[in-house]
Amino acid sequence: MLRGGLLQELEAFHRRHNLRRLQEGQPPDYTKGIFQTLGFKEFHEYLMLPEEEKSSEQGQKLLEMSIDNMKMATRRYARRQNKMTRGRFLEHPNREIPSIYELDTTNIELWDTEVREKAIHIVESFLNGEECRFQPLKSQVDDERKNDDENSYNYCNVCERIIIGDRTYRIHMKSNKHKKVLKKKNEEAKKNQDVPK
C-alpha cells in the first residue's frame, strides 16, 4: 500500500478535506464516511505536522509509528472480518446458506488462476446448477449445536433456576457461578454427613 502511493493519497486528501475542516474549528471525526477507512486516524498526527517537520527525525519516527499502527489496525480488521464470516456462515447452526468457498489471495502473481478463474467457475456452476469442481468450506458446527433449541426449557437442579435455550444451558453448566454453587452444596452435604446424630 505504501509503495502504491498510500502516503501521497492521504496527504492529498488531508489537504483538500480534513485540513480545511480543522481550520474551521471542527475536530476530526473518524466515525463517519471515508474517514473510517484504515489510514486516516492512524496517520492523523503525522499529517498534522508542518511540511518542514515531516522530514525531521521526530517526523520520521511519527511516520514509522503511524505505519505500525496501520499494520496493527489492518490485522485487527482482517481478524474481525474472518470471525464475522465464520460466525455468520460457518458456525451458525440454524441458518440455511449457500456453500462458502475460500480463495487464496496471498500471491498477486497467481491472481488470475487462484482467484478470478476460480470465482468465475464457482459463480457459473451455482447459476447453472452444475457441480463445482472446487470443494466448499465445511460447516464448523458440531452435531450437538445443529440440534440446539433456542426456546427449550432447562432446569438446573444445582442452582435451582430455569434456563431458556440449549446453548445458554450448556454455557451455564460450565460457568464459574454454577461450579461455586455446586461446590458449596457438596461441602454442606459433606458437613451434614459428618455431624453425629
Q: What is the pLDDT of residues 130-145, one digit of tens each?
A: 999 999 887 766 666 6
Q: Which three cell numbers stand for residue 123?
A: 459463480
Percent of the chain residues topping a pLDDT of 90: 36
CA angle 54–30–47, rounded 5-degree value: 5
Q: Could you give the count of Cα atoms lying within 13 Å of 151 in the half-sphere of its Cβ?
A: 0
Give the CATH fold of the 148-194 domain. Answer: Double Stranded RNA Binding Domain (3.30.160)
pLDDT tens for 78-98 read 899 888 887 777 766 566 777
Tell me the CA distances in angstroms from 62 to 88, 109, 150, one per residue in order. 38, 33, 51
**In this structure, are residues 47 and 18 in contact, taking their beta carbons and an 8 Å threshold?**
yes
| pLDDT of 27 over the 80 cut | no
In the chain, the largest separation of any two C-alpha atoms, in whole Å, equals 90
Domain range summary for the chain, segments of one domain joined by +: 6-90, 96-140, 148-194
pTM check: above 0.85: no
> What 3-state DSSP class applies to 45?
helix
